Structure 1
Amino acid sequence: MKKPDFETSLKELEGIVEQLETNNLTLDETLAKYESGIKIYKQCYQTLEKAEKKINILLKKSTGETDTEKFDLKKTSEE
């Protein structure tokens, strides 16, 4: 089975967070949602790490040095 793309996983994670914030779940349901959310979070984090590594490779100078800048997600999402 193919792993869902980043955007799909992120939307699913946001849905889980909303469900957890409603406080309408039983303890068992809450634990199951939390566990599912952690798994999705880890997948998203790994995807972002891979993307960051790719970007660093693309920014690599011909001298072998790497130009890296901190990527500010908040800044780009506000634009």
Structure 2
Amino acid sequence: MRLYFKNRELLFKVDEVEKTDCLRFNPAMAYYDEDGNEVGKFPAIVCAIRDVEGNLVTLHRTYLTQNGKKAKVGNAKR
């Protein structure tokens, strides 16, 4: 996750972001195609998206390569 943030040149303290309850790292999250077949496992950043009252609305997943770039996986279904 740190490598992804560094590659994106994001300007914030990663240590502080990692302490939040809305951001997590999964070193091997399964990715599925539109037919429900597992394509593979990738490192991923998972972010909880909440409404103004703090209720969970959805999860945003960013699949990564081993070198901290975005993995070339298909777009998620909406």
Q: TM-score, normalised to structure 1's length?
A: 0.21
Q: Which structure has greater helix proportion?
A: 1
Bigger radius of gyration among the two: 1
Q: Which structure has greater strand proportion?
A: 2
Higher relative contact order (CA 8 A, sep 6+): 2
